[in-house]
Structure 1
Amino acid sequence: MVQFGYTMMTEQAGPRALVDDVVAAEQAGFDFSVTSDHYFPWLASQGHAPYAWSVLGAAAQATSVIRLMTYVTCPTTRYHPAVVAQKAATMQLLSDDRFRLGLGSGENLNEHVVGGGWPAAHVRLEMLEEAVEIIKALFDGGYVNHHGTHFDVENARLWDLPDVRVPLGIAVSGERSCAVAGRLADLVIATEPKSELLSGFDRHGGGGKPRVGQLPVCFDRDRDAAVERAHDQFRWSAGGWKVNSELPGPSAFAQATTHVRPEDMAKAVPCGDDIEEFVEAVRAYTDAGFDEVALVQIGGRHQQPFIRWAREELLPALRAM
């Protein structure tokens, strides 16, 4: 049966609001939650970027059932993979085994802050693959020494390991990332309803493993207000992954999306309160083969009305789909 998730989007709300919202999402009946891990918002109008791992720790204590997950963390530049492994193991303990570690190759938007330049895409994927191997070795227990192309680990060990190993997901966007995910991941992550990504994951060993997708939506009883908000805060998504991973900051995203119109966003994102429009957008993911779909409600202060609507109308309609 398909499961439905709620997104704590750190780019559009402060840490206390994010925790309050995931508590409400749990009470509303969402099956799982995912959390972005950003140093910058995509656009200045979003206005936030708290530290995702502190938010996750607080969420683990404030909730009891809903599963938690990074969507996604980059373990190669801003964070060393040995530190990511420690954070993930700690989160699994704090959450009583409700945590999953989602990883990806990152965006210049977030990783440039530590200096050192932004590697080419093929190098970033090499770094991700090496980082995942380090994290998995630390999850195995014992001491780890690693001297690779991109990372060194000297006599590292995780002293607090959970009894239930942290499931590890990898975000995919093309054949090479599908190959890495199929070989190394316990689940696959994507932000587009493309069946070819899932078949690529399966070809490389991913058959039978969970597949998680993410869908932006903009609920509002006033559809025009929803369209305006989607354009104001989410037009960055129109650029596509090859563009979005390269731009260095919110001003660059604002400049790059000057051509995106409100009507373009209305076609790309379900806006308003038409249940059928939302259900059909989710159906694109389930038809492609995704068995988990996380919804992103656009607009930080509009979370609680969306969660109430989801509890009363949207989730029942999705489960009857």
Structure 2
Amino acid sequence: MTSIGYFLSSEQFDPKQLIEQAQRAEQAGFERLWISDHFHPWNDAQGQSPFVWGVIGALSQATSLPVTTAVTCPTMRIHPAIIAQAAATAACQLDGKFVLGVGSGEALNEHIFGDAWPAPAMRLEMLEEAVEVIRELHRGEVVNHRGKHYRVEDARIYTLPTEAVPIYVSGFGPQATRLAARIGDGYCTVMPDAELVATFRAAGGGDRPVQAGTKVCWDRDEQTALDLAHRLWANELLPGQLAQTLPRPQDFEDAMTLVPRESTREHFAIGADPQRHQQQVRQFIEAGVDEIYVQQIGTDIDGFFSAWEKQILPELQ
């Protein structure tokens, strides 16, 4: 049965707002939480980028919902050994209800130390080794790792959960999706793409969980909702590798000027029509996604949670 969760946007909301939204989500009947991990927002208008691990610690005390990072890049900005420690602590805080979602990252977040931005194949190679390092450290033994990309010397994590932390791997194309099937305990995506879900399952993913995130802009005034969605999140409609290769929020703002407003209307559930919101979620259900996470773009948080609790979630569940 498909599970509906709430997507916490670290790019758009400050830490206290994220905690408040998580509490509201639990009260409204959402079953899980996704939380993005960014150093920069996609554009300046989004305006936020809190450190995700601090927010997760607060979430563990504020709600009882499971949490997945969507997604952390454990390859450049933060060494995989540090991600291993952070994830182990998060799993302890959340009583084992934590999933480490990982991906190969974007230049937007990972170029900040001045390192060259690797080609896609190299980024996937780095991700695979990083996951290996994290799993080694999560065994609780002393680790000495001499790999192509990472070195770990006499390292041991002492604070560990009772059960191993599940690691889900994101993928937006066939190559990354096959890697997710080979090394992941689950798969993360942001597209209702039945073909990629089938690729994951056929390549070894089997019946492991598939998670996906999506965004809506609930507002009583449809024009207000469209204006906001287009101004804040038109970056989601940029084609090809732009999302992975553009290095600055300003670059995304420039590229977003090429996205037509009508494309934004078609991409997001805009306004207050419950059926439009249900339709967007059902696209993911029909694609074979097991867990769907919904983010509210709009500023009317009260209206969103009220509508989803009373009109939308009951129909989907």
Q: TM-score range by the shorter chain?
A: over 0.9
For 1:154 and 1:16, the matched residues in 2 are separated by 37
1:61-105: per-residue Cα shift (whole Å, max 9, x none)? Answer: 1112x1111000000011100110100010000011111100000
1:210-254: per-residue Cα shift (whole Å, max 9, x none)? Answer: 101111111001111101110010001111351101111111001
Q: Is the 8 A contact 1:76 1:127 kept in 2?
A: yes
Instruction: Indicate the residue corresponding to 2:108 in structure 1.
Output: 109
For 1:89 and 1:130, the matched residues in 2 are separated by 18
Cα distance change on mapping 1:69 and 1:241 into 2, 3 Å: farther
Instruction: Indicate the residue corresponding to 1:303 in structure 2.
Output: 301
**1:286 and 2:274 equivalent?**
no
Instruction: Indicate the residue corresponding to 1:225 in structure 2.
Output: 224
In the superposition, the TM-score normalised over structure 2's length comes to 0.97
Instruction: Indicate the residue corresponding to 1:204 in structure 2.
Output: 203
Instruction: Indicate the residue corresponding to 2:57 in structure 1.
Output: 57
What SS does the corresponding residue of 1:48 show, helix, strand or coil?
A: coil
Measure how far apart 1:117 and its partner are.
Answer: 1.9
Instruction: Indicate the residue corresponding to 1:313 in structure 2.
Output: 311
For 1:137 and 1:201, the matched residues in 2 are separated by 24
Q: Is the 8 A contact 1:70 1:103 kept in 2?
A: yes
What SS does the corresponding residue of 2:152 show, helix, strand or coil?
A: strand
Instruction: Indicate the residue corresponding to 2:243 in structure 1.
Output: 244
Query: Which amino acid letter does the alignment assign opposite residue 172 of structure 1?
Result: G
1:36-57: per-residue Cα shift (whole Å, max 9, x none)? Answer: 0011111111111111110111
Query: Which amino acid letter does the alignment assign opposite residue 275 of structure 1?
Result: P
For 1:2 and 1:128, the matched residues in 2 are separated by 28
Q: Is the 8 A contact 1:139 1:158 kept in 2?
A: yes
Cα distance change on mapping 1:164 and 1:240 into 2, 3 Å: farther
**1:174 and 2:173 equivalent?**
yes
Query: Which amino acid letter does the alignment assign opposite residue 112 of structure 1?
Result: H
Cα distance change on mapping 1:240 and 1:33 into 2, 3 Å: farther
Where do 5+ consecutive residues of structure 1 fail to align? none
What percentage of residue pairs aligned between the two structures are identical? 41
Q: Is the 8 A contact 1:21 1:304 kept in 2?
A: no
Q: Is the 8 A contact 2:238 2:259 kept in 1?
A: no
Q: Is the 8 A contact 1:275 1:317 kept in 2?
A: no
For 2:27 and 2:83, the matched residues in 1 are separated by 29
Measure how far apart 1:175 and its partner are.
Answer: 2.0
What SS does the corresponding residue of 1:245 show, helix, strand or coil?
A: helix
Measure how far apart 1:179 and its partner are.
Answer: 2.1
Measure how far apart 1:304 and its partner are.
Answer: 3.4
Instruction: Indicate the residue corresponding to 1:189 in structure 2.
Output: 188
In the superposition, the TM-score normalised over structure 1's length comes to 0.96
Measure how far apart 1:306 and its partner are.
Answer: 1.3
For 1:204 and 1:277, the matched residues in 2 are separated by 33
What SS does the corresponding residue of 1:154 show, helix, strand or coil?
A: strand
Measure how far apart 1:310 and its partner are.
Answer: 1.2
**1:7 and 2:7 equivalent?**
yes
**1:47 and 2:47 equivalent?**
yes
Query: Which amino acid letter does the alignment assign opposite residue 19 of structure 2?
Result: V
For 1:215 and 1:276, the matched residues in 2 are separated by 16
For 2:180 and 2:263, the matched residues in 1 are separated by 32
What SS does the corresponding residue of 2:225 show, helix, strand or coil?
A: helix
For 2:147 and 2:206, the matched residues in 1 are separated by 29
For 1:52 and 1:100, the matched residues in 2 are separated by 14
For 2:91 and 2:302, the matched residues in 1 are separated by 27
Query: Which amino acid letter does the alignment assign opposite residue 305 of structure 2?
Result: I
For 1:210 and 1:241, the matched residues in 2 are separated by 26
What SS does the corresponding residue of 1:256 show, helix, strand or coil?
A: helix
What SS does the corresponding residue of 1:123 show, helix, strand or coil?
A: helix
What SS does the corresponding residue of 1:149 show, helix, strand or coil?
A: coil
For 1:217 and 1:241, the matched residues in 2 are separated by 22
Instruction: Indicate the residue corresponding to 1:159 in structure 2.
Output: 158
For 1:19 and 1:38, the matched residues in 2 are separated by 17
**1:133 and 2:132 equivalent?**
yes
For 2:171 and 2:258, the matched residues in 1 are separated by 27
Query: Which amino acid letter does the alignment assign opposite residue 44 of structure 2?
Result: A
Query: Which amino acid letter does the alignment assign opposite residue 231 of structure 2?
Result: D
